[in-house]
Amino acid sequence: MKKIVFGLAAFATAGVVFALAISTPKPRYSVEQWRAFESSGDAAAGRRIFFAGGCDSCHASPGQPDRLRLGGGLELKTPFGSFFPPNISSDRTDGVGAWRNVDLANAMLSGVSPRGEHYYPAFPYTSYQRMTPGDVADLITFLRTLPAVQGKAPAHQLPFPFSIRRAVGLWKQLFFYNAAFPPDPTQSAEWNLGRYLVDGPGHCGECHTPRNVLGAMQPGLYLTGAPAPDRKGKTPNLTGAVLADWTKADIVEALTSGFTPAGDVLGAGMTGVVRNLAQLPQSDREAIAAYLKSLPPRGAPVTAKLP
């Protein structure tokens, strides 16, 4: 009997050790690996990435009109609990003003904080992981030019077991590959730029892709529409299943002004997306349109119209 108990205890201990080992946060870059980008960065280029990613949509301080006051604190309600995006202003105590470039890189590309902890994937690093090091360096350079905002966002409100942050490491083992996003040499430069903006900093799939019971995007249904983040309605299918009758120019116009070919206006969450994408160069919106137009029809038919 003692041997059985001892064996079970040893097995359980080994399981715990294994779980701890595979759930350890794994930042993509060390300080040495990132050194070439530590002192680089262009604020003007970073502004473009800021608006491509719609950073203000989650991180702007609620209840005030300045979209560049990035004090965080907006409540994001999900099936797993409420998340509160952090302060990413230039404040050195409460924001990211004291962060090194490599700190932002590992946060956005690996979902690992400067303290070596996992970020929850409500922060869409599952998409940001595809961003280039240069774009991350440019982005933090731009963030340093923005106003410092004092105050930290509230703590996440998550029930057990979702409150166990270390468990995110196990989730990453299943659904996060922590890797770069090489261009497709068989496609044009415009197409590759569009894919990069849509699938990387633009993180369109985070709202437009159905998720499984563990909250991970379903790859086979990428961009085919999903329940809206506020749980009110559904985001539309962005593949050829819906956009077949839209021209490239139609998509560019919708991303610039919000007006659809039918004369409707993109509303709900797309209001902020259009506001941000309108800040990009015309060539970026054209690249996004080219990529979306190339997507074959996927997913179930969507009866809801755009928006």
Choosing from 108, 143, 175, the residue where a domain stops is 175
Domain assignment present for residue 126? The answer is: yes
Mark whether 46 and 141 lie in a shared domain: yes
Q: Verify that 37 and 168 share a domain, yes or no.
A: yes
Does 114 sit behind a cis peptide bond, omega within 30 degrees of 0 on the bond before it? Answer: no
Is 148 found in the same domain as 202? no
Q: How far is CA 100 from CA 89, 108, 138, 140, 178, in A?
A: 14, 13, 12, 9, 20
The predicted structure's pLDDT at residue 174: 95
Looking at the structure, do residues 47 and 136 belong to the same domain, yes or no?
yes
Predicted local distance difference test score (pLDDT) of residue 305? 46
Residue ending a domain, choose from 115, 148, 175: 175
How confident is the model at residue 303, as a pLDDT? 40
Tell me, yes or no, whether 107 and 198 share the same domain: no
The last residue of a domain, from among 175, 208, 231: 175
Token code pair at residue 232: 């009110």
**Beta strands per DSSP E along the chain:** 76-78, 81-83, 226-227, 234-235
Q: Residue 36 sits in which domain range?
A: 27-175
- The answer for residues whose C-beta is within 8 angstroms of residue 250's C-beta and 6 or more apart is 260, 261
How many independent structural domains does the chain possess? Answer: 2
Residues of the chain where predicted confidence (pLDDT) is lower than 50: 5-6, 8-18, 302-307
pLDDT in tens, 14-60: 444 445 566 798 988 999 989 889 888 999 999 999 999 999 999 99
